[in-house]
Amino acid sequence: MFLNKALIIFLPRQKRFTFHFMVFFIILVTMPLPSSIQLNASEQDKVNFTILHTNDEHSALIPRGPAIDYHPEKKDPTRGGLSRLATAVNNLEAQKEDEEVILINAGDFMGGTMYNWLALEGYAPELNLMQDIGYDIVALGNHEFDLGPDVLADYLEAAGYPKASTKTTLMGTNIDIPNHHPLANKEIENLHVKKIEDGPKIGFFSLIGYDAINVVVESGPVEFSDPLDTARTSVEKLKDEKNVDLVIGVTHSGIEEDREMAEKIDGIDAIVGGHSHTEMEEPELINDTIIVQAGELIEHLGILELSYFPHNGELKIRNEKTGTPHLLPVDDHIEKDPSINKSLEKYTNKLETMIYEITDGAFSDILEPVGTSDFTLANRPYDQENQFGNFIADAMRLITEEKTGKEVDCAAQGSGIIRNEIVPGTMEHSRGKISLYDLTEAVALGSSPENTPGFPLASVYLTGEEIRRIMEISTLASQYYGSNYFLQVSGVRFTYDPDRVILFQIPGIDLPYPSLRSVTNAEIYTGTGLQPPESEDYTPLQRGDDELYHVVTDYTLIENAVPRVEEEAPWLNINPKDKKGNLIEDPEDTLLRHNGEILSVWQAVLEYMDQQPEGPDSNPQVKPYYQETTNRIVEQDNTGILMWPVLFLGLIYTVAPWLLLIFLGLIVIMGIIIKRRRQYKKNTPINLP
């Protein structure tokens, strides 16, 4: 201080001001900044970017809900459509011209409407249009395998892969493809890295989750690695080898598995999910991992606005600050993009030509009315008898009888394959009408072994005892695997006690021990036509009944479910037979044909709709019979019966404790054997969620 004063005294007056300014400047730049100023500095350093995302589009390329309500010049209640989505994406990208926008799909862009049938003709409408819209990353889900890996390989080739990977990246980190398979050269990436300009380096991985693997229809030689192990390894590789700043998982696993992964695995900054069709109005934050999902069928566009802070690596959501919703409805407030709409119309023309040929000229317009109804045909609850389930099962039974001239005793269809309810039109131009597109959307999945569209029908003969076992399997599988596995039926009725399905969980492993006594009463309809709710035309199906009955079902149940039951629950073995009782060795021998052509579920449903009585507008009108359920499947409340296994085990323990130990030991050993057979890599579905 003394030296400073001395210097000031001897400095000329005109330089004293300069000296004071220099001292002040040095003090200013070396002193600590207030926290508010530091915060503003970090705010200035942040890098903004936005993730737009969709999932589970399921080939829903045009507005729907129902599609027949769409009107090009009037307001309508339809949602979705790729042309509207393109406009929404373009508008958001224009608003965010000063930041990076990443457009992501989280799997199941295929499988669900007639448009997916074009894959069998060598076209790739879904993926080609998504490329044109500007998707950066597209993940493979379970429904991409609906037509089998060979057709998927042809589909990707039609979509321009491997060259198209420079435009839209395909991902499938835990999909293990043999080197010799044509999918191996389509540039399906395990890990993907994207550098934001002047911002973070982002690493992406993709997963098909446990439940999704479990319902892959036809994987062929393709296998799937453990999802959690794959996620853990992917995070390590992205951080240690790729030196990324952020890690984002694009998962087709479902919200519950996403939550589990976020909780168990550190280092995942965000999960963009699919499979469970969850509309997440707000993201979830678990273990510093942001989880989002955008519902289904392009009804919403997910928007996740993010800020990255380089000084500490923090990632923050800013939707609330900007007022941007996390889900943007894709509805008639959004105009169609002309370019995408023109391309879509070309695919629609190809589809309508295909349908014209399949139906021998009966139909040539996907939005053509094929029936009317005064009510909705509901397909839920999945784990109960429902109206549309009855309609479909009746179509399978009655149309097969008509086509083959053979009486059908029973028909069954899995709830998970019935994709949607049937909602009649609500607009002035469409009121009460059901279009070809809306009707088939509910039953359009899959293909036959001969690559005809839709899951085919299969005809087998089973004993009365085996039909009872099928009922037991339906109640057991729906409780243990999920309600999608519940069977809708025609020609039979049964009562079951849900509290009686499982006796107990086998100790030490996650497997139930079934009672095989949940079905308390089962009867087969002996009348003709529709089975009335109240009728005497029923005969009991007794335990041990060895009489043969004619059963029609979905071919996938014969091809996939029957072998799976034999593998996992041999005591519930089902043996498909011909009319003479001979075992059927080749599942393809069960395929139903008419005039040499395979008959599919959707065709039976369409023909059954055409046979409904004529309505006021000369279109077939769904019978009032289907407005309510008809007591085909009755849930019985009889929880007292649960006490008998407890009393039985207690009696054994009282008389001879060592017998109880042997009994439980045998159960555990049996459970371990079953569990080993249930390795998820080779699992195939009873039906599809």
Element (H, E) at 246: strand 246-252
| CB-facing half-sphere around the CA of 579: CA atoms within 13 A | 4
Angle between helices 338-358 and 125-133 (to 10 degrees): 180
The confidence band for 256, taking pLDDT boundaries of 50, 70 and 90, is: very high
* Measured CA angle at 465 (ends 460, 467), to 5 deg: 45
Q: Residue 257 above 90 pLDDT?
A: yes
User: Which is nearest to 230 in space by CA: 583, 680, 660, 626?
Assistant: 680
pLDDT in tens, 57-70: 999 999 999 999 99
Q: Write down the CATH superfamily of domain 368-636+646-682.
A: 5'-Nucleotidase, C-terminal domain (3.90.780.10)
Q: Residue 302 above 60 pLDDT?
A: yes
The confidence band for 26, taking pLDDT boundaries of 50, 70 and 90, is: very low
User: By mean pLDDT, which of 46-60, 190-204, 296-310, 479-493 is the weakest?
Assistant: 479-493
Residues 38-66, mean pLDDT to the nearest whole number: 86
User: Which is nearest to 500 in space by CA: 382, 641, 368?
Assistant: 641
The confidence band for 677, taking pLDDT boundaries of 50, 70 and 90, is: low
One-letter amino acid at 613 equals P
Residues 517-544, mean pLDDT to the nearest whole number: 93
Element (H, E) at 49: strand 47-54
* Measured CA angle at 519 (ends 516, 524), to 5 deg: 125
Element (H, E) at 552: strand 548-554
The confidence band for 1, taking pLDDT boundaries of 50, 70 and 90, is: very low
Burial of 645 (0-12, 13-18, 19+ CB in 10 A): middle
The confidence band for 508, taking pLDDT boundaries of 50, 70 and 90, is: low
The more confidently predicted of residues 544 and 26 is 544
Show me where the domains of the chain are located.
Answer: 2-31, 42-342, 368-636+646-682
pLDDT in tens, 579-598: 999 999 999 999 999 999 99
pLDDT in tens, 424-433: 999 999 999 9
* pLDDT computed for residue 566 by the predictor: 79
Residue % of the chain over a pLDDT of 90:
77
Q: Residue 379 above 50 pLDDT?
A: yes
Q: Residue 160 above 80 pLDDT?
A: yes
User: By mean pLDDT, which of 131-135, 283-287, 553-557 is the weakest?
Assistant: 553-557
pLDDT in tens, 648-669: 554 454 555 555 556 566 666 6
* pLDDT computed for residue 453 by the predictor: 97
20, 27 Cβ separation under 8 angstroms: no
Residues 445-462, mean pLDDT to the nearest whole number: 96
Q: Residue 47 above 50 pLDDT?
A: yes
- For residue 163, CA distances in Å to 105, 150, 168, 636 come to 19, 19, 10, 58
**Gap between the Cα atoms of 420 and 411, Å rounded:** 20
Q: Write down the CATH superfamily of domain 42-342.
A: Metallo-dependent phosphatases (3.60.21.10)
The more confidently predicted of residues 91 and 416 is 91
Burial of 618 (0-12, 13-18, 19+ CB in 10 A): exposed
* pLDDT computed for residue 6 by the predictor: 40
Residues 43-71, mean pLDDT to the nearest whole number: 95
Q: Residue 30 above 50 pLDDT?
A: no
The single-letter DSSP state of residue 237 is H
Burial 432-463, CB ≥16 within 10 A → b, else e = bbbbbbbbbbbbbbbbbeeebbbbbbbbbbbb
**Gap between the Cα atoms of 269 and 24, Å rounded:** 44
The confidence band for 127, taking pLDDT boundaries of 50, 70 and 90, is: very high
Q: Which two tokens stand for residue 188?
A: 């399906």
Residues 204-217, mean pLDDT to the nearest whole number: 95
Indicate the average pLDDT of the chain. 89
User: Which is nearest to 339 in space by CA: 90, 645, 522, 560?
Assistant: 90
Q: What is the number of residues in the chain?
A: 689
Residue ranges with strand state E in 579-661: 593-594, 597-598, 633-635
Q: Which two tokens stand for residue 447?
A: 């293909």
* pLDDT computed for residue 503 by the predictor: 75
The more confidently predicted of residues 660 and 515 is 515
The confidence band for 451, taking pLDDT boundaries of 50, 70 and 90, is: very high
The confidence band for 33, taking pLDDT boundaries of 50, 70 and 90, is: very low
Q: Which two tokens stand for residue 629?
A: 């359920």
| CB-facing half-sphere around the CA of 561: CA atoms within 13 A | 24
Residues 107-125, mean pLDDT to the nearest whole number: 97
User: By mean pLDDT, which of 248-262, 327-341, 381-395, 551-565 is the weakest?
Assistant: 551-565
Say what the pTM is.
Answer: 0.87
Q: Residue 674 above 70 pLDDT?
A: no
Angle between helices 125-133 and 82-95 (to 10 degrees): 20
